[in-house]
Amino acid sequence: MITAIVRFQLPKGMTLEDAKSIYQKSTPNCQRAPGLIRKYYLFGQDQVGGGVYLRQNRKAAEKMYSPAWKKMIAERYGAPAEIHYYETPVIVDNTQQ
């Protein structure tokens, strides 16, 4: 499995509620995304937003982060996204106990 951490600068003054509203509109796309196991949306007090994506493999991740996707993020938030990939050899999920 692969974890992709995506970060981008949010527009100045964007609140948590603003970000939540925008993020919720994108959840249907995530629910249909091939290879996506789980996604966490991020909002930092430093005006950085993004997501943590757990995917089946890197190929699925790289397919998602296409030039069109990168353009959409830059247009939506006014800044390009940084994408970092990590092999994910072990997962602890305390909700499954």
Domains of the chain: 2-89 (3.30.70.100)
Q: What pLDDT is recorded for position 30?
A: 87
If phi > 0 it is left, if psi is from -120 to 50 it is alpha, else beta; for residue 27 that is: alpha
Whole-number pLDDT of residue 29: 85
At residue 14, what are phi and psi to the nearest 5 degrees?
Answer: -65, 130
In this predicted structure, what is the pLDDT of residue 5?
98
Residues of the chain with pLDDT under 50: none
* 38, amino acid identity: R
Give the model's pLDDT for residue 97.
Answer: 66
Among 55, 61, 22, which residue's Cα sits nearest to residue 39? 55
Task: Specify the pLDDT at position 86.
Answer: 97
Task: Give the H or E element holding residue 75.
Answer: helix 67-77
Confidence (pTM)? 0.88
